[in-house]
Structure 1
């Protein structure tokens, strides 16, 4: 596995984890956008092996801030 593919796997894993945590509170597209922008902010600023943990922590903090200011959404019945 290359470093590049490992980073992609980590970013996808963190995205899935945060999407599960914030589902129903924020739209999936917004969660995805925050994860991608957070990864870009972290690239080159931290050791590559720390990307997963730092992406999760910073992404989660940013999503919590958004969720506090977002209107309450009630999921539609399927």
Structure 2
């Protein structure tokens, strides 16, 4: 079984991906800096969880986009 993420982490990560799709990438280290600069999250643990979930979402978005272009 995987780790359970809170709705707050999911909501913040989805909002960042919707507002800044070109800035959020599948790179966790890059996302940590982006989350820190774009949000007012003071907790390091919460920032890292949001950055990690955003990286996972960005990775699935990119992989599904690349799969769609190969089939056409």
Give me the TM-score of the superposition, normalised by structure 2. Answer: 0.39
Q: Which entry has the higher C-alpha Rg, 1 or 2?
A: 1
Give me the TM-score of the superposition, normalised by structure 1. Answer: 0.37
